[in-house]
Amino acid sequence: MKDPLSALKKSLTRTVFSDMKLLDDRKQAIKSEIAHGKKRSDWDVTTIMRVLEAVQHEPKQGFDILHQLFTRDEQTFRHKEGELYMLLHVLENKEILLSTWSNEVKMYQLSKRGKKLLAKQHLSSKERSSLKQLIEEASM
């Protein structure tokens, strides 16, 4: 079956991406990640709790959450800031965070479920495991 986007791909290769070259090993790594549906689930519970703490008192946009994490020396998202937005999306899907749009900016705040989770500052190992499992399921 012919790829319906082949003409577009050829056009982009000749124009937009003409100077872009990927090494063969990097191409293989990308293809492997796509083929195996690599999931994002290596956020630890401490990082997740710090994200929840960042929106504890008021709604914030992703950039402000990231800035607060950096000022608290949280390095999980350093040089991979996009992963914070993936995590925010997962937390939103699991109804731990709520979001609203204000002046074309997405603002995040704790839901009732998120407030209950954050109120348990010292999670038991079972609760930590449960939170980790929840995130893993959501990020598949």
* Domain covering 45-138, topology: Arc Repressor Mutant, subunit A (1.10.10)
> Mean pLDDT throughout 77-98?
87
> Mean pLDDT throughout 108-132?
80
- Banded pLDDT at 96 (limits 50, 70, 90): very high
> Mean pLDDT throughout 67-95?
86
What residue segments make up the domains of the chain, in order of their start? Answer: 45-138
3-state SS, one letter per residue, for 2-34: CCCCHHHHHHHHHCCCCCCCCCHHHHHHHHHHH
pLDDT over 60 (residue 34): no
Residue 33's pLDDT is: 59
Angle between helices 62-71 and 82-93 (to 10 degrees): 110
> Mean pLDDT throughout 82-100?
90
pLDDT tens readout for residues 57-68: 999 999 999 999
pLDDT over 50 (residue 1): yes
> Mean pLDDT throughout 33-46?
62
Residue 38's pLDDT is: 47
Distance separating alpha carbons of residues 54 and 47, to the nearest angstrom: 11
Residue 70 CA from chain centroid, whole number: 16
Residue 18's pLDDT is: 62
Between 137 and 126, the more confident residue is 126
